[in-house]
Structure 1
């Protein structure tokens, strides 16, 4: 458009977005393994605040031992930063042979990223 604003390329700040994407992918992978039963729920505390851990543990309830647990699979993960210390991630995952969505909010505080909210369609 002559005389109008042109398009400009916006580049991520020196590796910040790569760090957020790596943290988001690791958090998604850990959360889906807990949901699938291939990882103990208490290990979610590595990436999530206590409230998220309690909520997930309550949803899982006691798990029956025995039988074969099919490892989950992360199909794709995307993240964005709506604010400097906030990231949101979405993922498509396969749990028990079915495709589900997973969304989480990450917040940066005290030098590390933590999952402060998690929603999923997985059982």
Structure 2
């Protein structure tokens, strides 16, 4: 026996469907599958200008000399070891046990500038207890990208740390960093 709805018949609602939308952030090189509302238009692709002409009016520069050279996973080292090195180096630099310049080779310019100009977490910069980093978890959403996370402990308290690593010229570079 089925019960009738007291409000009467329900209006027909369009069922969600799977639509391919263009990637919003590099190095996603293809469309990403996202479940979207059928009435919402897809986002516009980001503007990506081509190579600039040479200053003397000659032919355009080779595109491989412009910008970063994304690396595929097969040409990159283990992301877990690179992530542990990055997180340990950043936490020790924020604690004042290492010069911040040592972080520069592991991070993108924007991340390094933010670390230099940003506020240091109090739990990281104050206190004499050791900074302990737990096991590093790795997720590789696309080829050449690794997202890592770990739990850092100090003085009996746990804090989350996470980073996004992108393969660039055969090495991992941190392009986003979050310290909780």
How much has 1:20 moved relative to structure 2?
A: 1.2
Classify 1:43/1:99 alpha carbon distance in 2 versus 1 (closer, same or farther; 3 Å).
Answer: same
* More strand, by proportion: 1
Match in the other structure for 1:83: 142
Structure whose residues are more often helix by fraction: 1
Please, what TM-score do these two structures have when normalized by structure 1?
0.71
Matched position secondary structure for 2:135: strand
**Which stretches of structure 1, 4 residues or longer, exceed 6 Å deviation after superposition?**
none
5+ residue gaps, structure 1: 1-12, 62-66
Match of 2:174 among 91, 105, 115: 115
1:95 to 1:38, Cα distance in 2 relative to 1, 3 A: farther
Pick aligned residue for 1:59 from 114, 118, 121: 118
Once residues 112 and 97 of structure 1 are traced to their aligned partners in structure 2, the CA distance between those partners, rounded to angstroms, is 34
Task: Go from structure 1 to structure 2 and tell me whether the alpha carbon gap of 1:68 and 1:100 turns closer, same or farther (over 3 Å shift).
Answer: closer
- 1:24–1:58 Cα change, 3 Å: same
Q: What is the TM-score normalised by the length of structure 2?
A: 0.50
Per-residue deviation, 1:30: 0.9
Number of equivalences: 102
Any unmatched runs of 5+ in structure 2? 1-72, 121-125
Higher relative contact order (CA 8 A, sep 6+): 1
